[in-house]
Chain A
Amino acid sequence: MDYLLTDEQKMVRELAHKIAEEKIRPVASQYDQTEEYPWGIIKIIADAGLFGLFIPEEYGGMGMNVFSLCLATEELSQACGGIAVCYAASALGTFPIVLFGNEEQKKKYLPDLASGKKIAAFGVTEPEAGSDASGIKTTAKKQGDYYILNGLKHFITNGGDAHIYVVIVMTDKTKGARGASAFIVEKDTPGFTFGKKEDKLGIRASSTRELIFTDCKIPKENLLSKEGTGFIVTMKTFDISRPGVAAQALGIAQGALDLAVKYAKERQQFGKSISSFQGIQWMLADMATEVEAARALVYSCAKEIDAGARDVAKDSAMAKMYASDVAMKVTTDAIQIFGGYGYMKDYPIEKYMRDAKITQIYEGTNQIQRNIIALKLIKEMAK
């Protein structure tokens, strides 16, 4: 389907496609096996200028938007969902600074994040605060010109590898959700260490670690926005980052679909290509239609955000939930088309299913997305 992309958007897509096909696809399986962080590919993406897509030009970025970021993430994900999430998670950690940073913070952090010299991560989740972010226990206590952080974040993508972290911690526990605040923490700050690298089902090229704060002293200038705005920072960040996760899911689904079509054409059974069987054809037709529907939803949502829509929570929840459910279904069906070979690690398709699964879980499980959608529906009806 033609989405009438601008010349700039076409360039982003073309460039990301080139990186995906020439640099990522040949090594995707290797990184999946070794779980090594793909610094070499990160450098290629950085040199291409893709880390700065949505960062304003005055801070060294390309001054583009969420839609361009989605196009890049979708293309990279077609070759490897794991490497793509290293890229997308840096964007996730950068968004709060773009949205809520003051001039000094933007000047200090954004240029290096735009050039890809440094990468970012966003830390909200804790062992007892997953879907229920109000359960956050990590604290920040003000002490003169500093805040002292104590506690633990876990399941943090890019954790340990990123240079810049935005973390949500409690500055005033008595206020509940209104007592949370967002801070920028740099790697190598004394008292800031990392837990072991998680051994994951999918997206294995990306790193996931605990962030451990032990009397970690950070200057008060690192507070993002004001004390007590931590949840607003989180919600606003997720509202605009969800299309990115949706785009990752979309890319994984498209990548699996392309492999399935190719395999169906090549695979011979009963003396002909299995793509000539209606049973296979109907599966492929359904997969392609669902992928395209997901794409239309993701693109529309991203464009709406870029146009400045104020309340995008419902739409971005729909995009994330639908695209990731499609990714799970399409990748599973793709393995079915590959048959027994699809179940083997010698073939690239099983990795797509493993990579797809996480998109239904992180940045708000799809059950939480449905809550968001339903609550909005009911609220809208009450108006």
Chain B
Amino acid sequence: MNIIVCIKQVPETTEVRINPETNTLIREGVKSIINPFDMYALEEGLRLKEKFGGKVTVITMGPPQAEQALREAISMGTDEAILISDRAFAGSDTWATGYILSSAIKKLGIYDLILCGKQASDGDTAQVGPGISAHLDIPQVTYVKKIEEVKDNSLRVERMMEEGFEVIQTPLPAVLTVVKEINEPRLPSLRGMMRAKQAKIMVWGQKELNLDPQRIGLCGSPTQVIKIFTPAQRTAGQILRGEISEMVTELVGLLKDEVY
């Protein structure tokens, strides 16, 4: 089974600071880690490889220092790692990122399964995984909490819902985004860390991927961040009591007064 795991390097702190002028994340001075949700994707990829054989390739798009995240992935046991990095990619939104990552996956050629974390802990969009599947025109299953069965050309998975779960059968290749319930990620091994230190990390940019300059970076990104703010805290609700007719009258009154 050829598995590609897409990871993202994110700031470790949960208190992400935002530059109010550019509305982008301030990354300076914050330790970087692999997005915690992507660790579950990595672990699942490694487990599938251990069970069914094959290869796990990890890719990430980011600045040159994202190479560190790839080395960490190698120390856990992934076979190959590719850094997708180019100044021209700066400012890419989830749509452009999906385009760039899917182009890298196409360049890799053979793949049965693409695994992503359900979302990144910094941007929280949960759009890149589905975006990759759209660009590759292959099926996607989001919020996977268990891979039940693996067959030659299909997978049966459990997809987490707010109440209960769905069982979905999908042909391969497919994109899965996984939730933390799926496994417990392993720690690196000493041998893995030694291998990671010496591993050669390939870097692919716009040229290597032969990308349309109109579809990458800021100009390839339809999303415009207008404003970022902390939502006001929800205040306690109000429970109406009494006869139904009284409550309805009261509710209508409240809605008229308070909302409009």
Contact = CB atoms under 8 A, between A and B. Distances in A.
Partners in one complex: yes
Contacts of B147: none
B219 to A, nearest CB: 42
A23 B197 CA distance: 24
A15 B194 CA distance: 11
B190 A11 contact: yes
Contacts of B186: 47
Contacts of A47: 186-187, 189
Contacts of B197: 7, 11
Nearest to A45: B187
Contact of B190 (A15, A22, A23, A44): A15
B53 interface: no
A135 interface: no
Interface string A42-59: 001001111001000000
The SS class assigned to the B binding surface is: helix
Contacts of B193: 11, 14-15
Chain A CB within 10 A, most for which of B187, B190, B191: B190
B187 A49 contact: no
B188 interface: yes
A19 interface: yes
Contacts, number: 33
Interface in B181-215: 186-191, 193-194, 197
Size category of the B interface is under 10
A14 B196 CA distance: 14
Nearest to A11: B193
What 5 pairs between A and B have smallest CB-CB spacing? Answer: A49-B190, A11-B193, A49-B189, A48-B189, A49-B191
24 contacts: A7-B197, A11-B190, A11-B193, A11-B194, A11-B197, A14-B193, A15-B187, A15-B188, A15-B189, A15-B190, A15-B193, A18-B187, A19-B187, A22-B187, A23-B187, A44-B187, A47-B186, A47-B187, A47-B189, A48-B188, A48-B190, A49-B190, A49-B191, A50-B190
Given A11-B194, A14-B193, 9 more contacts: A12-B190, A15-B187, A15-B188, A19-B187, A44-B187, A47-B186, A48-B187, A49-B191, A53-B190
Interface of B: 186-191, 193-194, 197
